[in-house]
Copies of this chain bind each other. A is one copy, B any other.
Amino acid sequence: MNLRTPGPTPIPDSVAAALSQPMINHRGPEFADLLHEVTTELQTAFQTRNDLFLLTSSGTGGLEAAVVNTFSPGDRLLAISIGNFGERFATIAERFGCDVQVLAFPYGEAADPQAVAQRLAADPTIKGVLLTHNETSTGVTNDLEALATVVRAAGPLLVVDGVSSAGSLEIKTDEWGIDLLVSASQKGWMVPPGIAMISVSPRAWEANATAKLPRYYWDLALAKKEAARGQTPWTPGITVLYGFREALRLMRAEGFDAVYAKHRRIGAYTRAAVKSLGLRLVPVDERRASDTVTAFYLPDGTNEKAFLEQLRTQHDVVLAGGQGELAGKIARIGHMGMVEEADIDDVTQAIRQTLAAPATAAP
């Protein structure tokens, strides 16, 4: 199967093999070593000296952890949304009783740093900004450095969803001043789902000390205390961490700069391939198109479900469909982690043949 969804991503053989290692005591020295290695390697990948924690959850759990550890009911937040995952981030904070102001840009566009700066200047009561780095639903990557600069200048805490970017697209957490950065194992990290990662800046810790949103499972102050003795507060997802250790060794061997360069190369290659089929990209400005996921509009009259099903059953190619406003209208190709040009060629050929000879009936 050519699994080309934007996560879970294919797993290298050595990572798959690592998953089968015997269980260990999560309160013992073997686990402390495992936790230490994965944590410190991820700090390197995040380019941060901040604390970093591993949560047993999906990426959405990591986003919830970021919110509940940092804010109080009624806190005014600015959620910058450019698609489905931006909306999700806003919804999480709303559900917990924050006063969430949404600054939404149309699907397909990136957030405009100047518009963000104006909004922040107009409302000094905003305590935090929720920002999606790479919007998986539209295949658009925000200019995180530029956005972080305006948020930093205005003062609020910056909370970044890097679920589908960190590890594939370079993020300079400390240099850009990101207070909380969240990612998840099943994206460019080449690891199965089950672990979310979150880094916490000193400013975020200050906010944490007075943050009143209720939390227990996600309590990062407790995680910090337990980390000091090589443990996690609750039983951790040991198997996925075995895979993570191996995947990080592979990434270190390749070099993170090489990993980022590969994603830039494959991103451009995929967009060129899609355009060569006469298909239109969802990103309106290709300079902001994502190098981890490519979203394109299906030709008029194409049934999204039937198209994806035909790709899967006739070509063994698995893509994702549209989400939110774009449900039913687009397809998305994931190209993060373990991916080469040949994988994209296979996808391109499958799309070409499927569009040329669509199945007669929808499934």
Would A239 and B64 be within 8 Å (CB), given that A3-B25, A25-B3, A91-B216 are in contact? no
Question: Which of A54-62, A122-130, A148-156, A264-272 binds B?
Answer: A54-62
**Chain B residues in 8 Å Cβ range of A194:** 56, 194, 237-240
Does A217 lie within 8 Å of B3, measured CB to CB?
no
Contacts beyond the supplied A3-B23, A57-B57: 9 A-B pairs with Cβ under 8 Å? A1-B22, A8-B23, A19-B19, A23-B192, A24-B318, A28-B312, A56-B57, A58-B236, A194-B238
A4-19 Cβ-contact flags toward B at 8 Å (1 or 0): 0101111100001101
Q: Determine which of B8, B9, B214, B243 lies in contact with A96 in the assembled complex, contact meaning CB atoms within 8 Å.
A: B214
Q: Determine which of B16, B28, B192 lies in contact with A318 in the assembled complex, contact meaning CB atoms within 8 Å.
A: B28
Does B22 lie within 8 Å of A217, measured CB to CB?
no
Does B19 lie within 8 Å of A235, measured CB to CB?
no
Main secondary structure of the interface of A (DSSP, over half): loop
A residues within 8 Å of B by Cβ? 1, 3, 5, 7-11, 16-17, 19-28, 56-61, 64, 91-92, 95-97, 184, 186, 192-194, 213-217, 233-240, 243, 312, 318, 320
Does B184 lie within 8 Å of A235, measured CB to CB?
yes
Does B28 lie within 8 Å of A22, measured CB to CB?
no
A57 vs B238: C-alpha distance when bound (angstroms) = 12
Would A95 and B214 be within 8 Å (CB), given that A3-B24, A3-B25, A24-B1 are in contact? yes
Would A216 and B318 be within 8 Å (CB), given that A20-B17, A23-B192 are in contact? no
A318 vs B28: C-alpha distance when bound (angstroms) = 9
**Chain B residues in 8 Å Cβ range of A27:** 5, 320
Does A192 lie within 8 Å of B96, measured CB to CB?
no
